[in-house]
Amino acid sequence: MKTKLYSQIRFVQSTDEDYNRIEAVFSGIRAGYCEGNSQPVIDYLSDWDDEENELTEEIPMIAKMGDTSYSDENGVYTLLYNSSIGGCFLLYREATEDEMDWHGIVP
């Protein structure tokens, strides 16, 4: 059976320098959050995607409850948002075989 791993790209919370900019893009000009605003956030956070990402066997989550997920238009990334714990973003994707090899994990 093939091991499925996930690569955590970037976790952003309210104490991070670029949080306000990310939140502003995500909320847009509307009072609420919208899936249509998730792609620019995904594009921005994907700039931190490299071979040194943390790998995990569990599907990433921010909190046990309240996570909302948004899919990348290319089907590569998943963005999680959780407003119940102060507003946090987490971008992840499935790990590649090269990443698993780099981390010494046999798929």
Domain ranges of the chain: 6-98
**Between 33 and 69, the higher pLDDT residue:** 69
What confidence tier does 93 reach under pLDDT thresholds 50, 70, 90? very high
Q: What is the mean pLDDT of residues 89-96?
A: 94
pLDDT at 107: 56
pTM of structure: 0.85
43-82, pLDDT tens digit by residue?
999 999 987 888 998 999 998 888 999 999 999 999 999 9
Residue by residue, DSSP assigns the chain as -PPP-EEEEEEEETTSTTHHHHHHHHHTTSSS--GGGHHHHHHHHGGG--TTPEEESSPP-SSSS--EEEE-TTSSEEEEEETTTT-EEEEEEEPPHHHHHHTT---
